[in-house]
Chain A
Amino acid sequence: MDNVFTNRLRKKNFSLPEAYGSQFVKRVFQRKDMLFALAALLLFAGLSIFAPLLSPYDPNAIDLKNKNLNPSEEHLLGTDYLGRDLLSRILIGARTSLSIASGVVLISLFLGTATGCAAGYYGGFVDESISRVTDIFLSFPSVIFALTIMGALGAGVFNLMLALSIVHWAKYARMMRGQVLSIKKQEFVLSAITGGAGDFYIIRKHIVPNAIATLFVLATIDFGHVILSIATLSFLGIGLPADVPEWGAMLSAGKEFMRTAPYQTIFPGLAITFIVIIFSILGDGMRDILDPNHEGGEID
């Protein structure tokens, strides 16, 4: 990770000789919004890890007599349309939502890095064909693409992850390719190549470490998009079954009760909104620190 930031900055003619990893952390601590977002993210992560301990009820326990309750002492956030405790479901839901989103982002990151790397590094025919494939994937509005795939696969946690990964990886591939192309021209890579180092060695030692930071920024921003996509697909009735405690599914299952028992949409909706805000603050902040000259828009 040594020359990650220096190289990135050198490329942009931005001289900050001591901008190393520790510097990055320091800069994060200088930004109040990122600190706040980080704290909130830790809180969410903690809640989801300890959800089974924290949740006062079994998130799937149905109690028809006590359905659609408003927040009270017994049920801090109220109950849903089958009398399940909302607080417990939101806590357990954090697990589902966050792990699905992480899964999608990690799979896309991996796939995108691998293909993007191959395209950028080898160039020529490999590049041409991989680039064309990514372009094709990118020219399909993502929700509609995911919709078609989910139609083929059917609802379910695994299928949802798969569908969203298929939709999302191309973005990463394109960005990785761009990164590799610019890193390849750098002296230390050129000298490694003339020094006779193997392709895999160069990719592993020089290219990936130097490019990955930018990809992480993209992944951070993308995280929120994935959470929103899950909710959208649930709304269209082809994401997750309503009994899976997941925020998007809860929000869309609760939509018919928006007038009579609004809390079962308000709380999952807010949970989604906050997690998306957290990731967008973190992503923007990281981008600002890594690349103060960016023009914006390229990642959105």
Chain B
Amino acid sequence: MKYFIKRVGFMALTIFAVCALTFFLMNVIPGGTAKLVLKHTFVGLEESVTDEQLNQISDKYDLDAPLYLQFFRWIKEAVFRGDIGTSYVFKKPVLYLLALRLPATIQLAVMSMLIAILTGVSLGIYSAIRENKISDHILRIVTLFGVSMPGFWVALLLILIFSLRLKLVPVTGYGSLENLLLPAAALSLHSVAAVMRVTRTSMLETLGQEYIRFAKAKGLPLWKIVSRHALKNAMLPVITVIGFQMGSLLGGAVVIEKIFAWPGIGSLLVDSISARDLPVVQGCVLAIVMMFLFVHFLVDMLYTHLDPRIRYG
């Protein structure tokens, strides 16, 4: 229980620190927020802005106040009123925008995690059973390429093959399963490889144990040994790696969402950074970090539950 409180306290601290860091970073960007907001939202990128317009925007969004005051006002509103600001570009509350966009990102992340776990674990088991056979080697080489190719390149190649050549799935769009498949697959590539590698290693280790050999000697069929005995023990490290992968998935989602015009918070974040839509940047970062911490928390809980030897201080 004490651990739990400490953990939550730390999460709050992290969220605060990350928000402060983002706020600071976004404000040291050269060029002046008010001017860029004007250019991106109202007058056009290349057009000049007048002082009158600048003042109007600065007053409207209170951009002339000292930074620390702006930040504390934001924190105050966020903590006490649950209001994390209004977007300059969309002219809508940030929370509303997040509620619109978050499901798309979660959908994408969960789908690619599912793909990663299903294919990663099964390929890992297969590869472990066939250790050092040709198929094992081929699988390992293929996954090695999978983790080593730049994600956006793979995504573009996938579009060329599956959308334009084979005409299996559409390039853009959101809402149905066929829209989700390609981006999720592209996003899951790194995780598939990571999960597969870890499954293979820990599976090999488990299969080498005394009791498995005993079971083998008893004449149990291989699939039974694997599913009844080996899998359970091999899963701990897999769960850890899934937790770690969640972070890189969220990062990778930024790129994938950009390519597939996926309406998630990754693409929202990138666009907002260049449009200097500070409240939205802040909101997206907040959401991403919270998701990240939550997943880690979940993994840790699962981990402690599965392996009672582990206790956190």
Chain A residues with CB under 8 Å of chain B are 132, 135-136, 139-144, 147-149, 151-152, 154, 224, 228, 231-232, 235-236, 248, 251-252, 255, 258-259, 265, 269, 272-274, 276-277, 280-281, 295-298, 300
Q: Is the CB of A296 within 8 A of B237?
A: yes
- Is the CB of B251 closer than 8 A to any CB of chain A? yes
Chain A residues whose CB sits within 8 angstroms of the CB of B247 once the complex forms? 141-142
The interface centre, meaning the residue of A142, A224, A231, A296 with most chain B CB atoms within 10 A of its CB, is A296
Which of B30, B149, B293, B296 is in CB contact (< 8 Å) with A273?
A: B149
Please classify the interface of chain A as helix (H, G, I), strand (E, B), loop, or mixed, using the class held by over half of its residues: helix
Interface size class of B (residues with CB under 8 A): 35 or more
Which of A144, A274, A276, A296 is in CB contact (< 8 Å) with B288?
A: A144
Which of A151, A251, A281, A296 is in CB contact (< 8 Å) with B153?
A: A251
Q: Is the CB of A135 within 8 A of B10?
A: yes
Given contacts A141-B248, A295-B237, A297-B244, contact A236 B270 (CB under 8 A): yes
Q: Is the CB of B237 within 8 A of A297?
A: yes
- A21 and B238 CA atoms in complex are apart in Å by 32
Given contacts A132-B13, A143-B252, contact A148 B285 (CB under 8 A): yes
In chain B, positions 264-313 with a C-beta closer than 8 Å to chain A are: 266, 269-270, 273-274, 281, 285, 288-289, 292-293, 296
Residue of B nearest to A272 (CB): B150
Given contacts A147-B270, A248-B150, contact A295 B202 (CB under 8 A): yes
- A152 and B29 CA atoms in complex are apart in Å by 4
Chain B residues whose CB sits within 8 angstroms of the CB of A140 once the complex forms? 18, 285, 289, 292
- Is the CB of B25 closer than 8 A to any CB of chain A? yes
Q: Is the CB of B194 within 8 A of A300?
A: yes
Chain B residues with CB under 8 Å of chain A are 10, 13-14, 17-18, 22, 25-26, 28-30, 144-145, 147-153, 156, 160, 194, 197-198, 201-202, 205, 237-238, 240-241, 244, 247-248, 250-252, 254-255, 258, 266, 269-270, 273-274, 281, 285, 288-289, 292-293, 296
Q: Is the CB of B255 within 8 A of A297?
A: no
Chain A residues whose CB sits within 8 angstroms of the CB of B198 once the complex forms? 295-297, 300
